[in-house]
């Protein structure tokens, strides 16, 4: 961009802004000041109180709102979408990128609280009878019940270790929460 512009004929005054084209200069910036030698070019705008060089006026006009309002909204939406995609909880769930990360993260938080609770009970019941450990914590009871059900209908295991080994050998698929609970209880029983 040059430091000077062609001298405009009269108000309204327009100057060329890079990336935006011709932009109208607000009236509060005053009237244009011609170059001392090349009188057809302007070097700035003048009011009785203040002189603004052409470079300053260009910078001010670059920051003024224009038809970018829709683009700014789109940019904000894209930034939110990008933050949601980069959120750690976003990796653990299905769904499109427009889905909120907070919704995706809720399940992980609940899952971690449950498994932490199971780990705590398993740690406290280390060296005690498994039946007592199961009765002490409803979450462990639910986990062992679903282990039994997921292994086979009607097939029950008295020993959690057997159930876990059967599941790991591929006889039946075990859900991750049940497996984590079983591992915690099994390690506590050892």
* 87 and 122 share one domain: no
So what's the pLDDT on residue 104? 46
Domain identity same for 98 and 113: no
Q: Are residue 115 and residue 185 in the same domain, yes or no?
A: yes
Calpha distance 109→113 (Å, rounded): 6
What domain range includes position 99? 77-103
Task: Indicate the number of domains in the chain.
Answer: 3
Helix spans in the chain (H): 54-63, 69-86, 101-124, 130-136, 138-151, 160-168, 176-189
pLDDT per residue over 70-109, tens digit each?
455 666 677 777 776 666 555 555 555 444 444 444 445 5
Among 36, 63, 90, which residue terminates a domain?
A: 63
Task: Report the SS3 class of residue 45.
Answer: strand
Domain co-membership, 176 together with 111: yes
- Residues 31 and 84 occupy one common structural domain: no
Same domain, 112 and 96: no
> For residue 72, is it within any domain?
no
154 and 166 share one domain: yes
Q: Is this model's pTM higher than 0.85 or not? A: no
The reply to whether 22 and 86 lie within a common domain is: no
pLDDT in tens, 105-140: 444 555 555 555 555 555 554 555 555 555 555 555
Q: Please give the pLDDT value at position 124.
A: 56
Q: Do 178 and 154 belong to one domain?
A: yes
């Amino acid at each position: 961009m040059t430091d000077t512009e062609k001298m405009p004929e009269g108000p309204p005054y327009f100057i060329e802004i890079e990336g935006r084209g011709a932009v109208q200069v607000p009236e509060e910036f005053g009237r244009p000041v011609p170059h001392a030698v090349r009188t057809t070019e302007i070097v700035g705008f003048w009011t009785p109180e203040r002189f603004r060089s052409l470079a300053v006026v260009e910078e001010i006009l670059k920051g003024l709102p224009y038809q970018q309002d829709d683009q700014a909204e789109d940019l904000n939406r894209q930034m939110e979408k990008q933050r949601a995609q980069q959120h750690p909880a976003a990796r653990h769930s299905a769904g499109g990128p427009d889905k909120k990360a907070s919704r995706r993260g809720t399940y992980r938080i609940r899952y971690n609280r449950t498994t932490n609770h199971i780990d705590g009970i398993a740690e406290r019941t280390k060296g005690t009878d498994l039946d007592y450990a199961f009765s002490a914590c409803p979450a462990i009871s639910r986990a062992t019940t679903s282990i039994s059900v997921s292994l086979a209908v009607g097939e029950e295991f008295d020993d959690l270790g057997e159930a876990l080994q059967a599941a790991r050998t591929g006889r039946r698929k075990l859900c991750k929460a049940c497996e984590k609970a079983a591992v915690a209880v099994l390690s506590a029983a050892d």
